[in-house]
Amino acid sequence: MIVLDASVLIAHLDERDPHHDRAKRLLADSGAEPLGASTISLAETLVAPTRAGRLADATAALARLEVIELSLGEDASTRLARLRADTGRKLPDCCVLCAAQDSQGAIASFDSALINAAADLGLATIG
């Protein structure tokens, strides 16, 4: 499982994003590895397309990628609080970390601080 941060998905959907080509390569190179994203990461990804009246296009693009929505477990509030306290990362990043822990997946992100936090937690990273 590759757990996608919103930075990768946003870049993939927006041709003007400076990381667009990098996101396309990363997703193309994922092969048969399942792709997932936390509910919060998906919501972040869909904000700009929603504002632009392109929500249906964006959700269709995510469906073509077969991105699985990774919901957080019942104990998510305490786990997220611990991740926030331990890493100093904001809650959306903690949702990515939590989803990777739950799925035993590698985190794909263009956010170096998130990649560093994941590595500090012993999580695999891509990006």
φ, ψ of residue 85 in degrees (nearest 5): -70, -40
Question: For 4-53, how does the pLDDT look when each residue is reduced to its tens digit (9 = 90+)?
Answer: 999 999 999 999 999 999 999 999 999 889 999 999 999 999 999 999 99
Of residues 51, 48, 53, the one with CA closest to residue 13: 48
Q: What is the pLDDT of residues 76-94, one digit of tens each?
A: 999 999 999 999 999 999 9
- Does domain 2-121 match CATH 3.40.50.1010? yes
Question: Residue 38: beta bridge partners?
Answer: 70
Whole-structure pTM value: 0.94
Decide: 36 and 48 in contact? Cβ < 8 Å: no
Q: Contact, 114 vs 4, CB < 8 A?
A: no
pLDDT tops 90 at residue 127? no
CB atoms within 10 A of CB 103: 16
Sketch the domain layout of the chain as residue ranges: 2-121
